A and B are shown apart, each in its own frame.
Chain A
Amino acid sequence: MEFIVEKIGMSRTIDVPSVPVTLLKVVEAKVCEVREDGKAIVAYNSGKKINKAIEGQQKKYSITKEFNKFMTLEVAQGTEPGDLKADALAEAKLVKTSFNSKGRGFSGVIKRHGFAGGPGAHGSRFHRAPGSIGMCEWPGRVQPGQKMPGQYGNKKNTVKNEVISYDAENGILVLKGAVPGHKGARGLVRIVK
């Protein structure tokens, strides 16, 4: 089962040893249509964007104006159109959390791949550049998969987290450890156990 969540931030417990925790808020979602393969189309709120296509879908599933985003989620058996219930999180022990990681833009090889770089001074003339990227006339080309600068981050990452607690009233899920992404980011939790 999957749920849309929003990252709130991190904290810790006072137990011995203290556990680092991440707080996630379950985003309110409405089930529009349950498909036969155990997945369902759900609608949730994201900004104020509205167009005729969205309006048409809202009319079709008779949902209110706030629910302007649609996606397909795995849902529990016997789910019916209406509010998506997150009760299953109360019994969950282990979840997989998927978020887009923080975007670092176009990064060099030191940040992106952990290259060592050269000395800062003493006239080495080699600082943060990638250095050699291959051999000579043979093979005469760069090996596929050569580590080079490029876009770093803002890519879907999935981590496994233990569930510490779930507050059904506010929809707050407390996980052990960190999850990717910035505060306020939207992602998915999938119940493993």
Chain B
Amino acid sequence: MKNKYIENFEKAQIESKNVPDFRAGDTVRVAVRIKEGNKERVQNFEGVCISIRGEGTGKTFNVRKIGANSVGVERIFPLYSESIESIEVVRKGRVRRAKLFYLRDRKGKAARIKELRRK
């Protein structure tokens, strides 16, 4: 458990943030603010969230996608960072663990995740 003063300090920053509820296995589209010189633009990064870790302002999530030439690309984002414009949950996945690092060893069809169907 964190100290209550640290918790208050972090809560004050996080409170105004609107972050959707998602977990490992979900496909997310993250809009990242990128600053080039004095121009700012937004770039999307879409992939499967394979882990969420940490708490408070230090909470991060890891998104994995298969990039060009079928090279796996992973990016770790701070969940509450100012550089993240929005997070959109594209698809809910049905997975049985909190960390999906096993996807790194799988290719093609084996690396698929079933969609979560609610009854």
CB neighbors of B among A11-49 (8 A): 11-16, 18, 21, 23, 25
B3 with A14: CB separation less than 8 A: no
B56 A11 Cβ-Cβ under 8 A? yes
Mask of A91-133 contacts with B, CB within 8 angstroms, 1/0: 0000000000000000000000000000000000000000000
In Å, the complex CA distance between A154 and B80 comes to 37
Spell out A's residues near B (CB within 8 Å): 8-16, 18, 21, 23, 25, 170, 172, 174
Q: Could you give, for residues 45-88 of chain B, a 1 whenever the CB lies within 8 Å of some chain A CB and a 0 otherwise?
A: 00000000000111000000000000000000010111100000
Minimum CB distance partner of A10 in chain B: B6
Contact A11 B82 (CB under 8 A): no
Task: Name A's interface SS.
Answer: strand
**B residues whose Cβ falls under 8 Å from a Cβ of A:** 2-3, 5-6, 8-10, 13-14, 17, 33, 56-58, 78, 80-83
- List of B residues within 8 angstroms of A13 by Cβ: 13, 57
Residues of A within 8 A of B56 (CB): 11
A-chain residues with CB within 8 Å of residue B2 when the two chains form the complex: 9
How many angstroms from the CA of A23 to the CA of B13 in the assembled complex? 15
A25 to B17, CA, bound (A): 27
Choose one: B57, B58, B81; the contact of A16 (CB below 8 Å): B81
Whether A11 pairs with B14 at a CB distance below 8 angstroms is: no
Contact of B5 among A12, A14, A15, A170 (CB under 8 A): A170
